[in-house]
Amino acid sequence: MMQMLLVLLLTGIIHTVDSLSYALRLGGPRSRRITLALSLSGLLVIVSRTSNMAQGPMVGSMVDKALASASFHLESRLHWIIAAATAGTAAAMLLFPSVVRICSRLVVHLEAAGSIPQMVRQLTAGRKWKNGAAYVKLPNLQMLRSLFQGRLPRRLMAINMAVTAIYTVGVLSALYAAYLWPASRLAASTSSGLINGVATILLTLLVDPRIALLSDRTLRGESRLGRMNQVLGLMLVSRCAGTIAAQLLLVPCAFWIGWLISG
């Protein structure tokens, strides 16, 4: 039970941190230091995705337990892990307005410090946090309404939703395939890297350039900052929808992997 709770907690944290990388992207145009913001955003993404790889061995031990005992219901546990991903993304949506404000200040501190380790050392000083409550801002109904006003980037949202669903379910479907085809467990478990690699490539090719272009236009004054707020907010919404869609993809993707490794 403790192992399952740890996996759920780790999954929620991973998806919260990964989703909040959008706040750093928004902090760039707000502080007019977009390159520094992107470097911090990339650091967050690397940390979260590396942690996602560390999740694999922990879930892999569940496969061994499921093969050893028929009473160990692996599929239901995998669905709970995906639900933790949804909860983590939803938490990021609640934290987003506050984190955007904090990230705008972090970018300024990074410029002053000159390096991330030096910035962290300076931020550990108590006086830096005495006004921290001023940056807290909870989302409200007006913010939610503003997200769906005007022209919506429907294609970008659909792509982001699909890529998030694949990324969320990649490791889990591969491990479930290893349970369904125990004779090919090694081939099934290693296929998760390929699935997540494809999702990362799609994200890099189809989503990230659009966000970067919007950031540059906002910095040059060709697009309103409110428009960028809206688009990044909708990216969070579509990301959350992607984790929900991953619930439907878990078993089909596992059978697709099984078909590949057994063919």
Phi/psi of residue 71, nearest 5 degrees: -80, -5
Backbone angles phi and psi of 25, in degrees to 5: -65, -35
Asked if residues 239 and 164 have their Cβ atoms less than 8 Å apart, the reply is yes
Which pTM was predicted? Answer: 0.86
Compute the average pLDDT of residues 207-218.
82
Whether the CB-CB separation of 177 and 194 falls below 8 Å is answered with no
- Which pLDDT score, from 0 to 100, does residue 238 have? 94
* Burial (Cβ within 10 Å: 0-12, 13-18, ≥19) of residue 17: middle
Rg over CA atoms, the chain: 20
Distance CA 182, CA 191 (A): 14
Residue 251 has what pLDDT?
A: 93
Selection from 81, 73, 34 nearest residue 56 by Cα:
81
Task: Round the average pLDDT of the chain to a whole number and report it.
Answer: 81
169: helix, strand or coil = helix
Looking at residue 126, what is its pLDDT? 57
In this prediction, residue 50 carries a pLDDT of 65
The predicted model gives 58-73 an average pLDDT of 82
